[in-house]
């Protein structure tokens, strides 16, 4: 009797141990699929469909960095706070799992922050996560609790429609609703990126810059920069998605990437949204749009100036279509130059462009002019195991597979390591220090007024 009892207990223990040991495997397979792949369709065929009237394909096909497009029949219901792990297909046929780090439910539309009914905007739910530990493979070694900037996903859900960005081992994918019950997941090639158009501030603006304010160190610094979001008539006519939705989503992604415990906590707070009547055409594009908002005395530009003062907006971001560069902005916002013309067809460039507005320059190279401060540049690492890694300030078009370069969606700082080495240079590559200092100045433009 005693023997059979012990035998029974041993069987129970074995079963329990087997269950416990198999738990990680079960969890690893527990990712919910975002959707199912449709039959492959080449880019040329999709372009023909767009020409024939399938307008929703424009949002992907007009993006200059796009390459292959996979069509998905998504299940938008899985984009919710109960989904801890989400699986998405990538170009090589694998399904990659992401673990939830942050979910935000949509806010009520209401009329908050909207000048009039002309503003087209739908609040979204946001699902943000990085790669699951069981899917890391040969990804660079980072603590499990740390955010993995080589592989993450950001999704915005508006009803049955999704849009967002996904990065897998440094490669960027864009997701958009392309109609017909389908979504397109498009791989990108950063070598195809448009150039930057960054203007130097006038000397007198530099001389009259706001006085320096002491900056808190590390994660204690929380900088809130107020933003006036503006669309031109050309961009406000966009549908599926609306231009204001694109800009709002990029700001949400920017805030999430900036708050990952790497010494910077910088939030862009949208205080008002407005449809401007300013010109945005092939005859009035890019730098001319920026100049109009700064210098012209038209009814449209005077209204934006009035709204900026009324809502104490530190920065004005204008979504425009007729822009032949990634962005048009000044190098380091001053109160009279804190305008950023955002090319609405290249949403992936927002992170880089807003970095310029807040004072970040491209990577410093031997022989380059030393600006003051010298550390205001992006960073490119030495070679680690045959590859170099670049920060947000590095121009993405210069970071390609052919150059054995991987673009990371994080700012540089010598205080944080990556691949066991400091990801930054105190002399020529400390973007976080630069941003902390500049953000304090920018967020105090209206202080005391």
User: Which tens digit of pLDDT belongs to each residue from 167-183?
Assistant: 998 899 999 999 999 99
Closest CA to 186 of 174, 176, 178, 177: 174
Would you say the C-alpha torsion 290, 296, 302, 306 has a positive or negative sign?
positive
For the chain, what percent of residues have pLDDT higher than 70? 84
What is the model's pLDDT at position 363? 94
- Under DSSP, the state recorded for 106 is P
Write a three-state SS string for 135-173.
HCCCCCCCCCCCCCCCCEEEEEEECCEEEEEEEECCEEE
What is the model's pLDDT at position 155? 98
| Domains of the chain in sequence order | 32-189 (no CATH), 196-449 (3.40.390.10)
Q: What is the pLDDT of residues 73-89, one digit of tens each?
A: 999 999 999 999 999 99
Rounded Cα–Cα distance for residues 26 and 24 (Å): 5
Q: Residue 161: pLDDT band by 50, 70, 90 thresholds?
A: very high
> Mean of the pLDDT values across residues 146-164?
93
> Mean of the pLDDT values across residues 248-256?
96
Closest CA to 72 of 158, 164, 151: 164
Instruction: Indicate the pTM of the whole model.
Output: 0.87
Rounded Cα–Cα distance for residues 291 and 305 (Å): 13
Rounded Cα–Cα distance for residues 163 and 91 (Å): 18
Q: What is the pLDDT of residues 124-140, one digit of tens each?
A: 999 999 987 766 554 44
Rounded Cα–Cα distance for residues 164 and 347 (Å): 10
Q: Residue 202: pLDDT band by 50, 70, 90 thresholds?
A: confident
Closest CA to 228 of 293, 156, 297, 158: 293
């Amino acid at each position: 009797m005693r023997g059979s009892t012990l035998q029974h207990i041993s069987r129970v223990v074995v079963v329990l141990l087997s269950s416990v040991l198999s738990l990680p495997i079960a969890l690893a397979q527990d990712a919910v699929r975002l959707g199912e792949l449709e039959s492959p369709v080449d880019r040329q065929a999709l372009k023909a469909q767009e020409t024939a009237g399938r307008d929703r394909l424009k949002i992907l096909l007009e993006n200059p960095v796009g390459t292959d497009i996979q069509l998905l029949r998504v299940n938008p219901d899985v984009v919710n706070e109960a989904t801890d792990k989400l699986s998405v297909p990538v170009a090589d046929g694998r399904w990659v799992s992401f673990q939830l780090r942050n979910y935000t439910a949509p806010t009520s539309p209401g009329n908050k922050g909207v000048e009039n009914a002309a503003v087209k905007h739908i609040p979204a739910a946001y699902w943000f996560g990085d790669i699951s530990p069981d899917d890391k493979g040969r990804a660079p070694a980072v603590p499990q609790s740390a955010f993995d900037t080589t592989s993450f996903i950001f999704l915005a859900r508006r009803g049955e429609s999704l849009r967002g960005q996904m990065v897998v081992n440094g490669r960027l994918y864009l997701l958009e609703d392309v109609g017909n019950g389908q979504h397109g997941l498009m791989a990108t090639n950063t070598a195809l990126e448009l150039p930057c158009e960054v203007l130097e501030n006038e000397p007198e603006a530099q001389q009259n810059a706001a006085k320096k304010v002491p900056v808190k160190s590390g994660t204690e610094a929380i900088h809130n920069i107020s933003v006036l979001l503006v669309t031109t008539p050309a961009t406000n006519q966009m549908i599926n998605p609306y231009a204001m939705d694109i800009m709002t989503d990029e700001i949400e992604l920017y805030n999430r990437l900036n708050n990952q415990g790497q010494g910077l906590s910088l939030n862009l707070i949208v205080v008002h949204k407005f449809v401007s009547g300013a010109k945005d055409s092939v005859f009035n594009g890019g730098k001319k749009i920026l100049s109009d908002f700064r210098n012209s005395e038209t009814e449209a530009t005077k209204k934006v100036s009035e709204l900026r003062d009324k809502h104490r907006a530190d920065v004005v971001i204008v979504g425009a279509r007729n822009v032949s560069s990634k962005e048009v902005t000044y190098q380091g916002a001053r109160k009279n130059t804190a305008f950023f013309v955002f090319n609405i067809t290249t949403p992936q460039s927002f992170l880089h462009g807003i970095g310029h507005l807040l004072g970040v320059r491209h990577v410093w190279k031997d022989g380059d002019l030393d600006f003051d401060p010298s550390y205001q540049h992006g960073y490119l690492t030495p070679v680690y195991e045959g590859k170099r890694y670049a920060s947000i300030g590095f121009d993405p078009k210069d970071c390609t597979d052919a150059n054995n370069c991987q673009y990371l969606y994080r700012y540089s700082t010598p205080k944080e390591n990556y691949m066991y080495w400091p990801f930054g240079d105190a002399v020529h590559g400390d973007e976080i220090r630069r941003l902390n200092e500049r953000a304090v100045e920018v967020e105090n433009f209206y202080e005391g007024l």
